[in-house]
């Protein structure tokens, strides 16, 4: 029974993230995917607000929640939290080249660190990337970001975990398969490209 249960769980995970195991993940990619998927089902508290613990982790957002959470739209704060907990090196802040609650900050960080891959460049997304949606270079804004968990060949978009998603509830952590539009109520912006985290240096031989 334990073997059957393990097989059933494996199949469920594979179906949730595109039905294909794909290439073997690096340890960093595995950590990012594990951290993001572990938060599936998380919702804000109170549930009709943007009060969330990921913004609170960064001491970002308004201090108007009836608990220790912070209040702001938080898809970028979630993606930054996942990267930080996985060991990705970056600075969270408001200065140029730093990641913050603005979705466009991931694009700007990727350009500055030469890890930005626009749609149409031929780049194939990998687990651990952050997908950027609704990028408007004229106003230097983006609508949404999400953590990439995989990619199904031939799909329009990646398989992702969304922070501050709106498809299955108000302001939740949820999956998106073949997500080529932002996980937003109404007309979500199209996928613009991907930001890759810098690879951790290989351990020195002992």
Name the pLDDT band for 22 (thresholds 50, 70, 90). Answer: low
What's the number of CA atoms in the CB half-sphere (13 Å) around residue 46?
Answer: 5
Q: Report the distance separating Cα 146 and Cα 75, nearest Å.
A: 7
What pTM was computed for the model? Answer: 0.88
DSSP class per residue in 104-144 = HHHHHHHHHTT-EEETTS-PPP-TT-EEEES-BTTTTB-SE
CATH of domain 27-195: 3.90.1720.10
pLDDT tens digit string along 105-142?
Answer: 999 999 999 999 999 999 999 999 999 999 999 999 99
Instruction: Parse the chain into domains and list their residue ranges.
Output: 27-195
pLDDT tens digit string along 61-94?
Answer: 999 999 999 999 999 999 999 999 999 999 999 9
Q: Report the distance separating Cα 53 and Cα 182, nearest Å.
A: 22
């Amino acid at each position: 029974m334990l073997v059957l249960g393990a097989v059933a769980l494996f199949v469920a995970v594979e179906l949730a993230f595109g039905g294909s195991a794909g290439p073997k993940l690096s340890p960093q990619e595995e950590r990012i995917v594990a951290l993001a998927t572990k938060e599936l089902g998380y919702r804000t508290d109170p549930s009709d607000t943007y009060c969330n613990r990921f913004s609170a982790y960064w001491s970002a957002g308004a201090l108007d929640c009836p608990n220790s959470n912070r209040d702001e739209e938080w898809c970028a704060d979630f993606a930054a939290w996942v990267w930080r907990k996985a060991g990705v090196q970056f600075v969270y802040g408001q200065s140029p080249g730093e990641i913050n609650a603005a979705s466009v900050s991931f694009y700007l960080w990727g350009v500055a660190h030469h890890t930005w891959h626009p749609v149409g460049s031929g780049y194939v997304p990998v687990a651990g990337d952050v997908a950027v949606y609704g990028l408007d270079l004229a106003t230097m804004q983006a609508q949404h970001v999400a953590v990439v968990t995989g990619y199904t060949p031939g799909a329009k978009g990646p398989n992702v975990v969304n922070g501050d998603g709106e498809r299955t509830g108000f302001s939740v952590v949820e999956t998106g398969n073949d997500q080529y539009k932002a996980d937003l109520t109404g007309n979500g912006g199209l996928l613009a490209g991907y930001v890759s985290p810098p690879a951790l240096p290989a351990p020195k031989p002992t």
